[in-house]
Structure 1
Amino acid sequence: MSTGSTGARPRPVLAPAYGATITSLLDASAARFCDRVALVDGNERITYTELRDRSLRAAAGLRRLGVRPGDRVAVWMPNRAEWAIAFFAAVRAGAVVVPVNTGLRTAEAEYQIGQSGASLVITVAEHRSRDLAADALEIARQLPGTPSVVTVDQPVDGAIAWSALIEMASPEDTADLPTIDPDNPVIVLYTSGTTGLPKGAVHTHRFLPTLLDAVVRLRLGPDDVVVLYLPLFHVYALLAGLVLMTAVGARIVLMPRFDAAESLALMAAEHATVVYGVPTTYIDQLDHPGIASADLSHVRVCVTPFSRDLADRIRARFGPCVNCFGMTETASMAFLPTLDDPPDVALDTVGTPLTGLGARIVDEATGEVLPAGSTGLLQLRGPLVTIGYHDKPEETARALGADGWFRTGDIASIDDAGRLRFVGRSGDHFKVGGEIVDPVEVETALQSYPGVARAAVVGVPDERLGRVGHAWVLPRPGVEMDVAILLQHASSLLARYKVPRAVAVVDELPTTPSGKIQKFRLLEAMTATPADVGGGPDQSPIGPPGKAR
């Protein structure tokens, strides 16, 4: 842990008792916690012994299907017991797991499955009135090598049933599974890229010792219970949720999707002790009528990136809470307070780096390392950080550099005690209800509509979701833009959370001499009066928010 921003070498990490790999971590938990419940999925309760045995059998089935060490296996389904079993099985088979967001459109999922080089897709036939299996089969037909598709919920023509995969393997096959090296890649998690196309952040098992420092800070143990409504295809739920809670023998209650009323009821029924959420989920729970009667007396800590006003609301109803910082490239949590920290530390900062993670602040212009208390760009280094972006050497070089320090893109300061405070982002990315949106990707989708000459997208404040997309579009000459049809076009290409909530059709976009759109002027104009921008609406180079003309 760095005690300032000087980039000093982080203190060494002691070998944990949980094992050096995700596989050995599950083995250790099965040996220690045996018949304790590991997973709850509806009426099904799976013990730690059963979780290990079922993942072993599934791993042998994957081997029978031809999955070999280093192969990529995509998991494209909502939270359910088979998600966790498939994850541990693929890891045990030596494969690299590629979680895929169930909210992605087919073209978006095709890019991630194809770019990762996945040879197998594990999915479901039914999810929220959508047939993911049909989409997966169509994607497989479009990709080189035609990846196999496995369905876990019901048989589908052209796909392999999960039950058939399990039956392929005999108990003897489990003895033939490979030895897992901690330095081997284990997960590829996709995040947005500045080119508008997502990047797959690759992690080896080496993140485990650092992440496990969160066990000490949050005092996690086998008596803990978490209701996991955050999706397992996200780094937070997968690593800070499934993996971290498995390490300590906690009970993980799975929800296929978030619902405020159902989540509160499950938290009460299962005596949840730890709450993982994003601001949107907390806001929906706090605003639900059922919050008044929900029994949350067993909750001992809530974790999420909070604003202080939201944190105070959560403390008043749920109980103690701590802020945190993490990202796809840092295997979820990277900075975390302790439960002993006072509110001004636990809520107004994100705490200190987890043990083994180096942190420093550098000057944005010169790259010079700055002293404690200075504001600049945050850089991180250590085994918690991605080893690079899959098959993207240029992006990897820009993000990591020759010195191994990861450029987060965040503007922050670190005080003398090593505590991090955020100032903002150096880039344009924004989060919608916890989902990262790359404006370039959205702009590309809008500009693919025949009548759009150019588009600009920014994140603007939203009370419930944190931020939402706001777009400005410049029509081609002579085109009368229909905003509703334009948004339908965007919705056909983008996940719902990426689609702008408002569109302004403008006659001109403010640009630099080199032609780059000046987004700060768009934001300034959102609150400016017509006189502030040089005349009435028809003369303004920047249209008012949401107005189509």
Structure 2
Amino acid sequence: MSQLMNTTIGMLLETKASDIPNNDALVYVDRGLRLSYSEFNETCRHVAKALIGLGVKRGDHVAIWASNMPEWVTTQFATGKMGAVLVTVNTNYQARELAYLLKQSDSKTLILMESYKGVSYLDIIYEILPELKTAIPGQLQSETFPHLKNVIVLSEKHYPGMLNWQDLLTYADQVTDATLDQRLKQLDPYDVINMQYTSGTTGFPKGVMLTHHNLINTGKHAGEGMNFTYKDRLCIPVPFFHCFGCVLGTLVCVTSGATMVPVQEFNVEDVLTSIEKERCTAVHGVPTMFIAELNDPAYSSYDLSSLRTGIMAGSTCPIEVMKKVSDDMGANELTIVYGQTETSPGITQTRTSDSLDVRVQTVGRAMPQIEVKIVDPSTRQEVPLGVQGEICCRGYNVMKGYYKNQEATDNTIDEDGWLYTGDLAVMDEAGNCTITGRLKDMIIRGGENIYPREVEEFLYTHPALLDVQVIGVPDEKYGEEVMAWIRVKEGMEIEKSALIAYCKGKIAHYKIPRYIEVCEEFPMTASGKVQKFKLKEQAINKMKTL
């Protein structure tokens, strides 16, 4: 059985820099940036010393609000060396959400980029923190955010009240290597080192506390699931602020000595160019990313022959898309990882040796050293194989808890250490799990339970459909009715009546969508998850006007 690693993120990188100093660690194709493990380690040590020089202590919270910039990944490993807790901020956050996170997380330092997709982060921070404009950099005093002292902008420019990145780096001169090494040795693998906020589709987002031990071992085992070695090169277009990017991406690479090839912000051309130029052997993505890549007009002009594997995750993986990635892109060892932020994030994974059927129809079996069971949601008693229930797990991957929210922690993790995911699944004799939906997404139509995933998978078989999301909408007669939001492939058309006719005789009548809406795109989170609750809101508003 695969063994657990007992180290910290900082020491992990030190070890790799010693073992494979000349191997590429970090490559940005668009920036012409290439750092070996030795160079990357030194860069991270320099940033760690700068943070210590700035006065950041072990256990202090450092929030980072930026896309996949080089400074993001160096900050991840720098905080892992000097013991500050990295608080990751969703790049799509607006003023209200940022203010909530900074206050709830007790962040002492905020690192931010100037703007993202036309939104000025500078305007937002000055809006929620007007006293920053007159503050001395590094000496912020705020009644609203009493913990926040430092704001650092990822820019060469200077802005009122903020240090820029170069200003920060000068603080490293005040700290010796011996001081950093002493701090590094004090850290414990079971220290919380990362906090990520759940999407907050219901209620306020919760801060998930994750340890070195959680993150390193998830990275190690996910890498082993793809047969990763130091020879692999991983294109990472998924956001670092999410576990998919900063665990299944960066830590998968560093635990195996592989090369990180990030894409700063998802763009099909940048992804395909990075794979081709760096001969990437692996690429990660959520299904919508792979759909965009496969349907790009210039797709066939790229040489993707180096691809072997990767991870598709983040939301339900349509079987037809998985087949195309395996057959057309050549990533025939692509794996599926299922999990959530609270599980660092992996619970199950398909293996490269699994048959195509297993890899397209299930999310695989428990990752090493993790227990998985399926229980009746109402009684929490384990159900027999083949029976649907809530999927639960126990092991090294389970979070330490929600920050300052013991009640929510207790509702999620029981006294025996089992974490309840809120997802519905079925397990087969081999231990492979099929996710059938979210407990809260289930549609109840006239007493019949309908799982959107099942209807979506059927609709994907229609040749004109690019993407589909199924939701339940209110209905006076049945309580709820089935609605399908669809995206149609370029150059193709489909009549709603024809799609309904396509369903008849193939799926039960009560599962056939009563309502069908065509759209150009779905509302998404920054991590690539479709926001079904927003589709539901749009549907209800449309129905009110009918």
CA distance in 2, matches of 1:201, 1:95: 15
Q: Secondary structure at the match of 2:108?
A: strand
Q: Secondary structure at the match of 2:247?
A: helix
CA distance in 2, matches of 1:360, 1:421: 12
Unaligned runs of 5+ residues in structure 2 are 132-143, 443-451, 454-468, 472-479, 490-522
Residue 374 of structure 1, CA deviation: 2.4
Amino acid paired to 2:405: K
State the match for 1:150 in structure 2.
152
Deviation readout 1:91-140 (Å, 9 max, x if unpaired): 21111111101111111111112111110011112333333234234444
- What TM-score results when the alignment is normalised by the length of structure 1? 0.76
Residue 224 of structure 1, CA deviation: 1.2
Aligned length: 450
Most deviating of 143-152 and 74-83: 143-152
CA distance in 2, matches of 1:544, 1:60: 53
Q: Are 2:335 and 1:332 aligned?
A: no
State the match for 1:224 in structure 2.
232
Amino acid paired to 2:206: K
Q: Are 2:359 and 1:372 aligned?
A: no
State the match for 1:500 in structure 2.
534
State the match for 1:316 in structure 2.
327
Deviation readout 1:293-329 (Å, 9 max, x if unpaired): 1111000014214211111121221121222212111
Contact 1:95 1:186 in 2 (8 A): yes
Residue 181 of structure 1, CA deviation: 0.3
Which of the numbers 196, 205, 209 marks the counterpart of 1:202?
A: 209
Where in structure 2 are the equivalents of 1:76-95 lying within 5 Å?
76-95=65-84
State the match for 2:102 in structure 1.
113
State the match for 1:247 in structure 2.
255
Contact 1:264 1:290 in 2 (8 A): no
State the match for 2:276 in structure 1.
268
State the match for 2:51 in structure 1.
62
Residue 220 of structure 1, CA deviation: 0.6
CA distance in 2, matches of 1:238, 1:291: 27
Aligned-pair identity (%): 29
User: Is the alpha carbon distance of 1:380 and 1:460 closer, same or farther for their aligned partners in structure 2, counting shifts above 3 Å?
Assistant: farther
CA distance in 2, matches of 1:83, 1:100: 11
Amino acid paired to 1:354: M
Aligned-residue RMSD, C-alpha: 3.0
Where in structure 2 are the equivalents of 1:355-366 lying within 5 Å?
355-366=368-379
User: Is the alpha carbon distance of 1:259 and 1:412 closer, same or farther for their aligned partners in structure 2, counting shifts above 3 Å?
Assistant: same
Amino acid paired to 1:291: Y
CA distance in 2, matches of 1:231, 1:145: 27
Unaligned runs of 5+ residues in structure 1 are 1-10, 432-436, 440-455, 466-489, 505-525, 527-542
State the match for 1:103 in structure 2.
92
State the match for 2:193 in structure 1.
186
State the match for 2:295 in structure 1.
287
Contact 1:125 1:156 in 2 (8 A): no
Contact 1:40 1:81 in 2 (8 A): no
Residue 403 of structure 1, CA deviation: 2.1
User: Is the alpha carbon distance of 1:212 and 1:421 closer, same or farther for their aligned partners in structure 2, counting shifts above 3 Å?
Assistant: same
Structure with more relative contact order (C-alpha pairs < 8 Å, separation 6 or more): 1
Contact 2:218 2:248 in 1 (8 A): no
Contact 1:94 1:180 in 2 (8 A): yes
Deviation readout 1:137-194 (Å, 9 max, x if unpaired): 4444542234310112222221112112111122852322312101110111111347
Q: Secondary structure at the match of 1:50?
A: helix
CA distance in 2, matches of 1:403, 1:371: 20
Most deviating of 157-166 and 422-431: 422-431
CA distance in 2, matches of 1:27, 1:289: 43
Q: Secondary structure at the match of 2:298?
A: helix
Q: Secondary structure at the match of 1:78?
A: coil
Which of the numbers 31, 36, 40 marks the counterpart of 2:27?
A: 40
User: Is the alpha carbon distance of 1:333 and 1:125 closer, same or farther for their aligned partners in structure 2, counting shifts above 3 Å?
Assistant: same
- What TM-score results when the alignment is normalised by the length of structure 2? 0.76
Residue 415 of structure 1, CA deviation: 2.0
Residue 209 of structure 1, CA deviation: 2.7
State the match for 2:135 in structure 1.
none
Deviation readout 1:184-210 (Å, 9 max, x if unpaired): 101111113475111111111122235
Where in structure 2 are the equivalents of 1:337-352 lying within 5 Å?
337-352=350-365
State the match for 2:42 in structure 1.
53
Residue 547 of structure 1, CA deviation: 5.7
Deviation readout 1:436-456 (Å, 9 max, x if unpaired): x9x9xxxxxxxxxxxxxxxx9
Which of the numbers 62, 71, 79 marks the counterpart of 1:73?
A: 62
User: Is the alpha carbon distance of 1:496 and 1:423 closer, same or farther for their aligned partners in structure 2, counting shifts above 3 Å?
Assistant: closer
State the match for 1:20 in structure 2.
7
Residue 385 of structure 1, CA deviation: 1.2
Q: Secondary structure at the match of 1:268?
A: helix
Residue 285 of structure 1, CA deviation: 0.7
Contact 2:43 2:74 in 1 (8 A): yes
Residue 401 of structure 1, CA deviation: 2.1
